[in-house]
């Protein structure tokens, strides 16, 4: 039986270290924003977002109490789109000062889908 990548990723999210590693390994968001920065040179937000996404990836820490709140929500396949939406918001609709603020935005996106 063949599983899709999406199902594998969602199933891995029940494990905090795997979820954290998935968040840290999101180079496609950085590269996509860098490509957008080259395409839309008049909009500095894309370059800012790319840089900020790299910085946030280095700050990833999920406290135990936050993980308890997060764990039941990330079991849903919508979690992947929540990650994508939260990353797309960086430097555009949201300006997370740190990874904790990014997590708050992520939780908000998950609970308001």
**pLDDT tens, position by position, 30-48:** 888 989 999 999 999 999 9
Beta bridge partners of 90: 94
Question: What value does the mean pLDDT of the chain take?
Answer: 84
Tally of domains in the chain: 1
Residue 8 CB neighbours (<10 A): 9
Closest CA to 85 of 111, 63, 61: 111
pLDDT at 9 over 60: no
pLDDT at 1 over 70: no
- Which residues lie below 8 Å from residue 78, measured CB to CB, with a gap of 6+? 110, 113
Q: pTM here?
A: 0.80
Is the pLDDT at 3 greater than 80, yes or no? no
Q: Which domain holds residue 9?
A: 5-111
- Mean predicted confidence (pLDDT) in 3-24: 66
């Amino acid at each position: 039986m063949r599983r899709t990548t999406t199902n594998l990723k969602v199933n891995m999210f029940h494990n905090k270290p795997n979820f954290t590693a998935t968040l840290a390994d999101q180079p496609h968001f950085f590269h996509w924003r860098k490509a957008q920065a080259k395409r839309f040179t008049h909009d500095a937000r894309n370059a800012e977002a790319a840089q900020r996404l790299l910085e946030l990836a280095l700050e990833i820490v999920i406290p135990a109490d936050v993980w308890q709140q997060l764990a039941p929500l990330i079991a849903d396949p919508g979690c992947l789109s929540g990650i994508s939406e939260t990353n797309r918001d960086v430097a555009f609709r949201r300006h997370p000062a740190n990874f904790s603020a990014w997590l708050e935005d992520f939780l908000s996106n998950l609970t308001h889908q």
